[in-house]
Amino acid sequence: MLSVPQAFTASLAMAAVILFCRALPFLFFSGKKTPRFLSFVELYMPALAMTVLALSPYASLNWSEAPHGLPEVLAGLLVVLLHLWKRNALVSILGGAGMYMVLERVLGV
């Protein structure tokens, strides 16, 4: 875990990187035509980034150790189902987190 000063430095770096991303088109393009690669990025990057973020905890899970990723998998499925059903982010997140806390307590060692 990063210390508070390290996290602060990292936050400054993040702020600079994000400002750079947002300023990029204003620095380099005149505004008439979208470069092909950027329209590809605009269309697909959110999908790729969110999938990678959502699945990262599963990819790093230790399946052979009890409870074999069961809380993560079941709570994750609940989030997907709740979201397809209600399409309310708050309901899906609270439902999934609640389910996870319960399962971890029941199945946890």
Partner 1 sequence: MEKPAAAFSLSSAFKSSVPVLLGYVTIGFGFGLLAVNNGYPVWLALFMSVFVFAGAAQYIGISLFVAGASLAEIVLVTLVANIRHAAYGLSLITSFGAHPRIKPYLIFALTDETYALLSSSKPEERADGGFLLAVSALNQLYWVAGTALGALAGSLIPGKVQGLDFALNALFIVLAVEQVLRLKKTLPFAIAGLSIFFAYRLMEGSGAMALGLIIATAILAIYNRTRTRQKRGDGNA
Q: Are 105 and 76 a contacting pair, CB within 8 Å?
A: no
Q: Judge if the upstream peptide bond of residue 67 is cis by omega within 30 degrees of 0.
A: yes
**Both tokens assigned to 22:** 């947002």
Site for partner 1 in 31-50 (CB under 8 A): 31, 34, 37-50
* 8-state DSSP, 33: S
One of 66, 89, 106, 107 touching partner 1 (CB under 8 A): 89
Site string for partner 1, 69-88 (x = CB under 8 A): ---x--xx--xx--xx----
CB of 107 vs partner 1, minimal distance in Å: 12
**Both tokens assigned to 32:** 């008439």
CB atoms within 10 A of CB 83: 16
Rounded to 10 degrees, the C-alpha dihedral 17/22/25/26 comes to: -110
- Tell whether residue 4 is a contact of partner 1 (CB under 8 A): yes
- Tell whether residue 109 is a contact of partner 1 (CB under 8 A): no
Q: Which residues bind partner 1 (CB under 8 A)?
A: 1-2, 4, 6-15, 17-26, 29-31, 34, 37-60, 72, 75-76, 79-80, 83-84, 89-90, 92-94, 96-97, 100-101, 104
